[in-house]
Amino acid sequence: MLVAQGGVCAICRLVPEGNLHVDHSHTTGCVRGLLCRKCNTAIGLLQDDPQILKEAAIYLTRSSSGAI
């Protein structure tokens, strides 16, 4: 998996400062990929919920244009 991902995080595509962490679904237990600490923490704080992530992306897009 490390080689397949090119040694980078599956989300941000950056080389991590430390080790990559094995990410898994808390629902199914299936391994999804290798993540850096920041991305692994972020998706955990977003409760592994794609809808919350979408809303966060919308928020960031709106707020970066100056309109909230």
Q: What are the pLDDT digits (tens) for 23-42? A: 999 889 999 999 999 999 99
Residue where the block lists tokens 């990410």: 23
Q: Is the pLDDT of residue 67 over 70?
A: no
Residues pairing with 54 in the sheet: none
Specify whether the CB–CB gap between 38 and 15 falls below 8 A: no
pLDDT band at 63 (very low <50, low <70, confident <90, very high): confident
Superfamily of domain 1-68: His-Me finger endonucleases (3.40.1800.10)
pTM assigned to the model: 0.83
